[in-house]
Structure 1
Amino acid sequence: MIRTRAEYEAGLAHLAACDDRMAHIIANCTKTMFDFDSPVAQVEPFEALSRSIIYQQLSGKAASTILGRFLGLFDIATDPSSPGAVPRQTTASAPTFPTPQQVLAQTMEQLRSVGLSGRKAEYLLGLAELCKDGTITRDKIMGLSDADLSKLLCSVRGIGQWTVDMFMMFRLRRPNVLPVGDLGVRRGMTIHFTKTGAVAAKKKNELISIDDMIRLAEPWVPYRTLGSFMMWQFQDMQIPEPSN
């Protein structure tokens, strides 16, 4: 787990030492992967995974609108700037998300009324049941390896490996995740590691293979999460080639 900015910087230094071109990307990347003001220990798996389900296959604006309406079912305040948000009186201790028990108390009709599809409503209810009965808890997920956590969460309807990878990377700050199913990372690695990368990255059938992703990312271990983030950034970056 990457808990501090110092640990984050140590990971970037490892990547830079592995690869001169990666060092050049890091030097030109202005974004930081984590908000270090939000402790990992406060991550609530039910909230994080529910948000992922709600946002699946929707534009950010549409998903934000549905999320605001969903929270409104429980009289939870939302960001007034968010589409569909209903501002309410709130305090620093006010809840930011319903509990599994509160979601389970809703009918399918109530969940559908906020814009959720029937399938997503079923996914949320299924996840809520697993969180309520103790199958998924914060303490449990913190104690599982990446492989075991992936196995547990991928067994939940509506949650696939990409969602699990994003959860482990951004919410749990696990340092060595390589999201091979993410198109952005794959494109970035194609540009970074192949001579015709910029051209090949525009054609899905010319992207590097998953086996190649795993092999080429081996030097990034134990910081493949940070390497993947750099590849996300690199695919959209306009930076000069490093001088020899």
Structure 2
Amino acid sequence: MQLVKIASLNSNNFNSALKYLAQSDLDLAQILETLGNPPRWQREPGFPTLLQIILEQQVSLAAAKAVYQRLCNLVQPLTPENFLSLDEIQLKTIGFSRQKISYGRALSEAIINQQINLDWLADQEETIIRTQLKQIKGIGDWTIDNYLLMALQHWDVFPKGDLAVAIAVQKIKNLPTRPTPIQLELIAEAWRPWRAIATQILWHYYLNSKSTKLLHLSPRPSLQ
């Protein structure tokens, strides 16, 4: 059963979620003990954030951030109309691939043509949000998961197709192979109703995986 968002995630329930997850999963508890609490990944809902997440598809966060920053330097404010005013040469010059240009234009046109209303969508249940956004070329579950998690602050969304999550789970659970999305979903059942916060703990671990602190994390027995 999907958790319906009845209130925005805030500092109090974020901290409560961290305590719950630490009690529910010793591996997550060890990350928190070693690295401290993860940052709260928060972005403003709307077109710029959704476009930024599209840029982050299948590339490093650093590369996507650089392209997004160049875009923001080129056009202000970043609106669907202003994005469509840029030609292919301008977008390629700042780092857009032909595919990402196509996706960005599809999103812009959907908003301008009132195919979707992101302000209205923000207050809807997850199933409605997914159905609406999946109608747009280039937007699939990974993009929607990250938008739900970071922009709309849903508590229980879980990006089962996220590579960083898979790598982190493999390491902390001492698994012989990288878990599949289906395997990740099964593991994440223990983290309900706070799977989004568990994801942020895993991202925290992944981003700090080269830290010398993590050398002191003792591997736990692999899952059978």
Given the alignment of the two structures, is residue 70 of structure 1 paired with residue 80 of structure 2, yes or no?
no
Given the alignment of the two structures, is residue 128 of structure 1 paired with residue 108 of structure 2, yes or no?
yes
Partner of 2:4: none
Partner of 2:26: 20
**Which residue identity lines up with residue 191 of structure 1 in the other structure?**
K
C-alpha RMSD over aligned residues: 2.8
Partner of 2:185: 214
Given the alignment of the two structures, is residue 154 of structure 1 paired with residue 134 of structure 2, yes or no?
yes
CA distance in 1, matches of 2:181, 2:64: 30
Partner of 1:238: 215
Aligned to 2:159, what secondary structure does the other structure show? coil
CA distance in 2, matches of 1:136, 1:102: 18
Change (3 A) 1:53 1:232: closer
CA distance in 2, matches of 1:20, 1:207: 20
What's the offset of the Cα at 1:224? 0.5
Aligned to 1:71, what secondary structure does the other structure show? helix
What's the offset of the Cα at 1:121? 1.8
Q: Which has more radius of gyration?
A: 1
Aligned 8 A contact 1:100 1:128 in 2 = yes
Aligned 8 A contact 2:38 2:200 in 1 = no
Gaps of 5+ in 1: 77-96, 201-205
Partner of 1:54: 55
Aligned 8 A contact 2:9 2:155 in 1 = no
Render the CA deviation track for 1:70-123: whole Å, top value 9, x for unaligned.
Answer: 33443x3xxxxxxxxxxxxxxxxxxxx421122233344443444423332222
- Structure 1 length-normalised TM: 0.71
CA distance in 2, matches of 1:111, 1:45: 20
Aligned to 2:122, what secondary structure does the other structure show? helix
Question: Paired residues, what number?
Answer: 207
Aligned to 1:217, what secondary structure does the other structure show? helix
CA distance in 2, matches of 1:185, 1:64: 20
**Which residue identity lines up with residue 214 of structure 1 in the other structure?**
E
**Identity in percent:** 24
Within 5 Å, which residues of 2 pair with 1:1-244?
Answer: 2-34=8-40, 43-60=44-61, 62-74=63-75, 76=76, 97-193=77-173, 196-197=174-175, 200=176, 206-235=177-206, 236=209, 237-241=214-218
Which structure has more relative contact order (CA 8 Å, sep 6+)? It is 2
**Which residue identity lines up with residue 52 of structure 1 in the other structure?**
I
Aligned 8 A contact 1:2 1:8 in 2 = no
- Structure 2 length-normalised TM: 0.77
Gaps of 5+ in 2: 1-6, 220-224
Change (3 A) 1:72 1:139: closer
CA distance in 2, matches of 1:30, 1:98: 35
Aligned 8 A contact 2:45 2:152 in 1 = no
What's the offset of the Cα at 1:128? 0.7
Render the CA deviation track for 1:119-148: whole Å, top value 9, x for unaligned.
Answer: 322221111111223333333222222233
Aligned to 1:238, what secondary structure does the other structure show? helix
